[in-house]
Structure 1
Amino acid sequence: MDGPAAEQLALEGLPVAPARRRPRRAGPVPIAESAPVARVCVDLPPPHLDRPFEYLVPASMDAAARPGTRVKVRFGAQDVDAYVLERVDEAEHEGALAPVRRVVSGEPVVTPAVLRLARAVADRWAGTLADVLRLAVPPRHARVEAEDVAELPPAHGAGRPLSGEAWAPYRGGAAFLQHLAGGGTPRAVWTALPGPAGERWPDAIAQAVAACAVSGRGSLVVVPDARDLDRVLAALEAAGVEGAVRLAADDGPAPRYRSFLAVLRGRSRVVVGTRASAFAPVADLGLVVCWDDGDGLHAEPRAPYPHAREVLALRAELEGAAFLVGGASRSVEAQALVATGWAREVVADRATVRARTPRVRALTSVELAREGPAAAARLPGPAWRAIREALARGPVLVQVPRAGYVPVVACARCRAAARCGVCHGPLGVPAHGAIPTCAWCARLATDWRCSECGHDQLRSVRVGSERTAEELGRAFPGVTVRASGSRAASGVLATVPDGPALVVATPGAEPVAPAGYAAAVLLDAGVATSGASLRTGEDALRRWLAAASLVRAADDGGQVLVVGDGEERVTQALVRWDPAGFAARELDERAQLALPPAVRVATVTGPREAVAAVVARVDGAEVLGPVPVDGPAPRGSLVPDVRTVLRVPRAHGTALAAELRASLAVRSARREGGTVRVQLDPADLT
């Protein structure tokens, strides 16, 4: 029907809907004249988006949108965060480009060196650049960014003559320092020994940093935790190195970002931090240091799961810096660097080792046979007498491999492990007189009965640090007992006085006694060296040596007692104080058995169908599995996840990573179901 369109009338008394407004189209945006195209990395997790995207730079943002800055861009129907990777004159994309929405900050937080490192890390661990940059760049703190940071003097060791006394006992130690001071790039694997004040491992690291500063270059030191960080900073101050920056995520967003900006703006060229500081933008980097690389805290728990030691090794190669990895023990991966000739070892001779270490004695069942039935005691007679004598000379350290009160219990009749009736997780007793609790789902086992024999009574299988402290307090009345650990009431202690006291600590939480412990007792050696992990023996030796290194030398009466039937090779390596020999034998055996680090492996974990789809797109790798993963089933599923292991020779490791990245990209593009976790060179392979 012709004529004007009919009008829809509204009923009287009803509100009239406002007329719909047509969206107004913005006019053309003026574009920057020079390098108008920005290639950005969008901060989105899907692997198929791991490539640069091109956007136009508006003229109003020309000065602020520099490479390395944070920006907002339109991606699909949302505004997302992104980093400007570079500015170019012409785009590779043939269609129309959207403009950058806004510049979040004009601070170039991603330097060219860090960008190269992040890309190399993503390629090596089959990750995405966005995931690595999320690890490398701390979250922005606008208030801190606006602060006028006080000018810091460049780090140097000039106020005092260059000292190398902490390196004198080691073969190659003096040459390492001279090479650093001369601007060289030596690579060393260092096995540290206990020593007097001024010659301990923090002092040696400080002297290496001072030697690097003499050549006008910066240094980066990565340690496992805040206690080690504080010790290194104190040693740097004592060595006359000024302007060192502390960079640790645990310090909080504002202090962390403030330290990051101080390094980024060139106001400090010495960084000491935990694992994320491996990406710190140190200018003129001349030395990277990784202390105690076998500590599990160096392994990043977020994708793509890189290890600080390997990140620093990559960085040393990319930036032409010296490399130093050290510890009281030696990891198998560090030994592999020596075996391949990539690094040289820095160790002391046997006479020096004997002079600077305590006397180590293993109280095994054979050694204690003469004690009769008392040999079965958790603290046998010789250990009790050694503690009593040592308390007259100073504090005594007691290392317990497990935290808590009674972390593992079993049926008192048939000795079967006690399990939760809901999720089948292990039961433990969290405190004296407490109800047994599941370690997986935290349910209370109020009406527990053994599934094997029906008995309702429990017995302790593993005794934790809290129960040990309680027992020692009864065994040595009147003696101060201090507990150190994440679950202890006092937390992790940094230091303890030199007076007589019993210090009960879990591995990694041993406090430092200024004059050294008079003795150390390492309990439950059989527990420490048992387990299915490939690293069980290596980790036990590392933890034992870390505790033993806090004890006075044998000439000063220091002694270490290992109680229990631990694995023979680990125990003998401690008695001989030979971590390098143990690591060399481990590496040889793993090479024969095709185990890492002699080969490269990847684990693919998730639902069975999802894992099979990812693995099917990878060629040329030996496939092991799948096998069910030990632990509770994922939320919303009654079926536990499975894990498949892919194994290739080391020469094919790059190709394996590339194929896994491609397979994950296909998976995300197709939106395949399930959650899959891919790890290359996992820190713990059981």
Structure 2
Amino acid sequence: MTTTRRPAEHEPVARVLPMLTVPHLDREFDYLVADEQSDDAQPGVRVKVRFHGRMVDGFLLERRSDTDHVGKLGYLEKVVSTEAVLTHDVRRLVDAVAARYAGTRADVLRLAIPPRHATVEKRPPDRLEPYPPAEVDPTPWSAYSGGAQFIAALAESRAARAVWQALPGEAWAQRLAEATAVTLNSGRGVLAVVPDQRDVDTLYAAVTARMDPARVSALSAGLGPAQRYRRWLSVLRGTARVVIGTRSAVFAPVADIGLVLLWDDGDDSLVEPRGPYPHAREVAMLRAHQARCAAVLGGYARTAEAQALVRSGWAHDLVAARQMVRSRAPRVVALEDSAYAQERDPAARTARLPTVALDAARSALNADAPVLVQVPRRGYVPALACAKCRTVARCRHCTGPLSLPGRDSPHVVCRWCGRDEVALRCGRCGSDAVRAVVVGARRTAEELGRAFPGTTVVTSGGDHVVAAVPQRAAVVVATPGVEPVAEGGYGAALLLDCWALLGRQDLRAAEDTLRRWMAAAALVRSRADGGTVVVVAESAIPTVQALIRWDPVGHAEAELDARGEVGLPPAVHMAVLDGTPDAVHTLLDSAALPDWAAPLGPVDLPFTARRPAGVAPDQPVIRMLIRAPRDGGLELAAALRKAAAVSSARHDTEPVRIQIDPLHIG
């Protein structure tokens, strides 16, 4: 028996956005709402609709009384859930991110809203007692110029925006927890985004020490589907007023948001690896702008993008006075380029561990303090080269770098495809002798164990990350970003193989190197307490000078000026198109690019870049850059987005990957 469906009496038309990732279908479609669905079919709910004969998921955006469609409308197949998961604020943010990055809204929605878990959704929301205001001492913020005024602005729910330069040794999580508590006391919500799980745990512990954990939700990729959806729902339903999470948490539906926090915006993990490749910093600032709320970008170092926000007047500086910085910073020593220094230590420029570094380590160990050794690469010997002609050893199958996994390993292994290379021979000169190009953390730990016999050696990196070490004599070898915290601070830090960081062919090599150095140096005791940092690089290098002076603001200012002179982000906007030659040229031909848009290239796709999806392995891939002035970013993105939709509708070329202002261009 067939049941005749009748349209709803009021607002019978539902405008739906199907979750279709092809660019030419990134638009709304109208469907009829059956009378029995009318109560459940509200804006923001998940629905299922029939599209070209197949069932697809979608979000109901609005109910209407009329339609622009001239033909016959189909009915909604199903209202999946009555939970309005797409809020008005998140929808505005999704639209803005798709426009900013020339992407589809369906792709952004997959980042913003986690998959549904029916069992979790059926549980009733928790009922909490009214929130008792937390006691907050604003005194620590007085160390920064304008810090006390910033906290006062948060208490008054004003839209104060700042780039915070954390002092060396600063308990950054405690400071952000204080700002969170002040904002929550004013009756508004808080969103905090950090790079990784370790930072989530650190900030969560600091925040929940001041307030009820039931009001704080920690969101990260490591959670299972049920746990993640349960926590996300607690934010949607208003139970949790504070969200702490990694990059995707920037879309969390925090009600009445009053403060957006983002720590260490230079970290690569804040960039989404899936299309349209948004950066959490840009999404967070978009959200603060749309919500007209306060925002803080914090870190020990500073990116050129953060400095651009200060220079434009959108944010102001939160920086301590030079006298305060000098009192909190450790003593930083670099290699001197003078006749006296050469005479005192002739091997300083060639030795991996010069005398000044060994002396600093011995002094700290004699004082029963741990020593931090930062090594750029993990593993044993992560890169090899021919001992005769110095040609880098690469895999015959995928051209990836060859490495030695361990001291007793019988063969070298490709770091990309994992294949063993049994008969290693240089493709240029035929020699079978190899040498280490870079020494990894495990090999370094071996060497230091022999240099300091009887001393405990701890390794942190890769799959084995150590969170903290006790205050006792030990050598801690760590890769950047996973340095353990030492109780009372490290007595010394040695920054090795600096050329491996500074010598990278990358736009952000200097900026990223200084960020990694400062993150390690911030864990060292102050100069007054005997803390010393030895950077094994020439002191004349500007990045080394910035570390010696502890001047990340000056370094970011210089970086921003230098990029402006050569026309690189963030002084301009840059679109990167990756695809086959035919596909890229076809897309550009159909794009109505403004006159000021300057195409650059094409060039071959860099070795380090992933091939675009949908391109056959045997097809050539090129990269084309398009440069636009700072005020033309949205217009450029709109032109490329429209061209991608046209190319998608034609089905005559492979898809082209479009990235706007990616971290790595060359």
**Cα distance, 1:614–1:369 mapped onto 2, change above 3 Å:** farther
Could you say which residue in structure 2 is the equivalent of 1:88?
64
Counterpart residue identity of residue 511, structure 1: P
For residues 590 and 149 of structure 2, the distance between their equivalents in structure 1, rounded to whole angstroms, comes to: 49
For residues 436 and 397 of structure 2, the distance between their equivalents in structure 1, rounded to whole angstroms, comes to: 21
Instruction: Work out whether residues 43 and 82 of structure 1, in 8 Å CA contact, stay in contact via their aligned partners in 2.
Output: yes
For residues 413 and 504 of structure 2, the distance between their equivalents in structure 1, rounded to whole angstroms, comes to: 22
Counterpart residue identity of residue 571, structure 1: V
For residues 400 and 337 of structure 2, the distance between their equivalents in structure 1, rounded to whole angstroms, comes to: 32
Could you say which residue in structure 1 is the equivalent of 2:388?
413
Instruction: Work out whether residues 194 and 201 of structure 1, in 8 Å CA contact, stay in contact via their aligned partners in 2.
Output: no
Could you say which residue in structure 2 is the equivalent of 1:245?
217
Give 1:181-192 correspondences, 5 Å limit. 181-192=155-166
Deviation at 1:209, TM superposition (A): 0.9
2:638 aligned to 646, 653, 658, which one? 658
**Residue 177 (structure 2) pairs with residue 201 (structure 1):** no
Say which is worse superposed, 412-421 or 396-405, in terms of deviation: 412-421
Instruction: Work out whether residues 526 and 565 of structure 1, in 8 Å CA contact, stay in contact via their aligned partners in 2.
Output: no
Counterpart residue identity of residue 451, structure 1: G
The SS at the match of 2:468 is: coil
Deviations 1:486-520 (A, max 9, x none): 24xxx222222122211111111111112111111
**Residue 146 (structure 2) pairs with residue 172 (structure 1):** yes
2:627 aligned to 622, 647, 668, which one? 647
Instruction: Work out whether residues 537 and 567 of structure 1, in 8 Å CA contact, stay in contact via their aligned partners in 2.
Output: no
Deviation at 1:188, TM superposition (A): 0.4
**Cα distance, 1:182–1:373 mapped onto 2, change above 3 Å:** closer
Counterpart residue identity of residue 561, structure 2: D
Could you say which residue in structure 2 is the equivalent of 1:20?
none
Deviation at 1:680, TM superposition (A): 0.4
Deviation at 1:255, TM superposition (A): 1.5
2:192 aligned to 197, 202, 221, which one? 221
Deviation at 1:77, TM superposition (A): 1.5
Could you say which residue in structure 1 is the equivalent of 2:202?
231
Deviations 1:637-659 (A, max 9, x none): 33441100000111111110000
Instruction: Work out whether residues 529 and 567 of structure 1, in 8 Å CA contact, stay in contact via their aligned partners in 2.
Output: no
Could you say which residue in structure 2 is the equivalent of 1:667?
647
Deviation at 1:349, TM superposition (A): 0.6
1:131 aligned to 97, 107, 111, which one? 107
For residues 319 and 396 of structure 2, the distance between their equivalents in structure 1, rounded to whole angstroms, comes to: 53
The SS at the match of 2:514 is: helix
The SS at the match of 1:227 is: helix
Could you say which residue in structure 1 is the equivalent of 2:50?
74
2:370 aligned to 382, 387, 395, which one? 395
Could you say which residue in structure 2 is the equivalent of 1:6?
none
Deviations 1:200-245 (A, max 9, x none): 1111111111111122111100000111111111211333465211
Deviation at 1:376, TM superposition (A): 2.0
Deviations 1:445-499 (A, max 9, x none): 1112112211111110111111111111121122111111124xxx222222122
Could you say which residue in structure 1 is the equivalent of 2:470?
497
Could you say which residue in structure 2 is the equivalent of 1:601?
574
Could you say which residue in structure 2 is the equivalent of 1:10?
none
Structure 1 gap segments, 5+ residues each = 1-23
Could you say which residue in structure 1 is the equivalent of 2:254?
282
Percent identity, please.
50
Could you say which residue in structure 1 is the equivalent of 2:492?
519
Could you say which residue in structure 2 is the equivalent of 1:469?
445
**Cα distance, 1:72–1:368 mapped onto 2, change above 3 Å:** farther
Counterpart residue identity of residue 354, structure 2: P
Instruction: Work out whether residues 335 and 348 of structure 2, in 8 Å CA contact, stay in contact via their aligned partners in 1.
Output: no
The SS at the match of 1:564 is: strand
**Residue 5 (structure 2) pairs with residue 29 (structure 1):** yes
Deviation at 1:441, TM superposition (A): 2.7
**Residue 569 (structure 2) pairs with residue 560 (structure 1):** no
For residues 119 and 47 of structure 1, the distance between their equivalents in structure 2, rounded to whole angstroms, comes to: 14
2:298 aligned to 317, 326, 338, which one? 326
Instruction: Work out whether residues 605 and 676 of structure 1, in 8 Å CA contact, stay in contact via their aligned partners in 2.
Output: yes
**Residue 237 (structure 2) pairs with residue 261 (structure 1):** no
Could you say which residue in structure 2 is the equivalent of 1:534?
507
Q: Which TM-score applies when normalising by structure 1?
A: 0.92
Could you say which residue in structure 2 is the equivalent of 1:4?
none
Structure 2 gap segments, 5+ residues each = none
Structure 1 segments (4+ residues) deviating >6 Å: none
Deviation at 1:423, TM superposition (A): 3.0
1:482 aligned to 458, 461, 471, which one? 458
The SS at the match of 2:493 is: strand
**Residue 401 (structure 2) pairs with residue 426 (structure 1):** yes
The SS at the match of 2:378 is: coil
The SS at the match of 1:335 is: helix
Deviations 1:580-602 (A, max 9, x none): 00000111111121111111110
Could you say which residue in structure 2 is the equivalent of 1:42?
18
Give 1:371-382 correspondences, 5 Å limit. 371-373=345-347, 375-382=349-356
Deviation at 1:530, TM superposition (A): 0.9
Instruction: Work out whether residues 134 and 181 of structure 2, in 8 Å CA contact, stay in contact via their aligned partners in 1.
Output: no
Q: Which TM-score applies when normalising by structure 2?
A: 0.95
For residues 67 and 521 of structure 2, the distance between their equivalents in structure 1, rounded to whole angstroms, comes to: 61
1:404 aligned to 365, 379, 387, which one? 379
Could you say which residue in structure 1 is the equivalent of 2:433?
457
For residues 123 and 83 of structure 1, the distance between their equivalents in structure 2, rounded to whole angstroms, comes to: 19
**Cα distance, 1:155–1:381 mapped onto 2, change above 3 Å:** farther
For residues 617 and 415 of structure 1, the distance between their equivalents in structure 2, rounded to whole angstroms, comes to: 46
**Residue 38 (structure 2) pairs with residue 62 (structure 1):** yes
Counterpart residue identity of residue 190, structure 2: S
Could you say which residue in structure 2 is the equivalent of 1:629?
605
The SS at the match of 1:171 is: coil
**Residue 126 (structure 2) pairs with residue 150 (structure 1):** yes
Counterpart residue identity of residue 150, structure 2: F
Could you say which residue in structure 2 is the equivalent of 1:121?
97
**Residue 116 (structure 2) pairs with residue 140 (structure 1):** yes
For residues 614 and 96 of structure 1, the distance between their equivalents in structure 2, rounded to whole angstroms, comes to: 34
Instruction: Work out whether residues 155 and 268 of structure 1, in 8 Å CA contact, stay in contact via their aligned partners in 2.
Output: no
The SS at the match of 2:420 is: coil
Deviation at 1:364, TM superposition (A): 5.2
Instruction: Work out whether residues 347 and 354 of structure 2, in 8 Å CA contact, stay in contact via their aligned partners in 1.
Output: no
For residues 217 and 657 of structure 1, the distance between their equivalents in structure 2, rounded to whole angstroms, comes to: 33
**Residue 75 (structure 2) pairs with residue 102 (structure 1):** no
Deviation at 1:171, TM superposition (A): 0.1
For residues 441 and 588 of structure 2, the distance between their equivalents in structure 1, rounded to whole angstroms, comes to: 43
Could you say which residue in structure 2 is the equivalent of 1:447?
423
Deviation at 1:365, TM superposition (A): 6.0
For residues 363 and 37 of structure 2, the distance between their equivalents in structure 1, rounded to whole angstroms, comes to: 74
Could you say which residue in structure 2 is the equivalent of 1:547?
520
Instruction: Work out whether residues 168 and 325 of structure 2, in 8 Å CA contact, stay in contact via their aligned partners in 1.
Output: no
**Cα distance, 1:594–1:374 mapped onto 2, change above 3 Å:** closer
2:182 aligned to 207, 211, 219, which one? 211
For residues 307 and 258 of structure 1, the distance between their equivalents in structure 2, rounded to whole angstroms, comes to: 25
Instruction: Work out whether residues 272 and 279 of structure 2, in 8 Å CA contact, stay in contact via their aligned partners in 1.
Output: yes
Between structure 1 and structure 2, the one with the greater Rg is 1
Deviation at 1:152, TM superposition (A): 4.0
Counterpart residue identity of residue 428, structure 1: S
Instruction: Work out whether residues 219 and 232 of structure 2, in 8 Å CA contact, stay in contact via their aligned partners in 1.
Output: yes
Instruction: Work out whether residues 46 and 668 of structure 1, in 8 Å CA contact, stay in contact via their aligned partners in 2.
Output: yes
**Cα distance, 1:432–1:85 mapped onto 2, change above 3 Å:** same
Deviation at 1:424, TM superposition (A): 2.7
Instruction: Work out whether residues 537 and 544 of structure 2, in 8 Å CA contact, stay in contact via their aligned partners in 1.
Output: no
For residues 540 and 10 of structure 2, the distance between their equivalents in structure 1, rounded to whole angstroms, comes to: 67
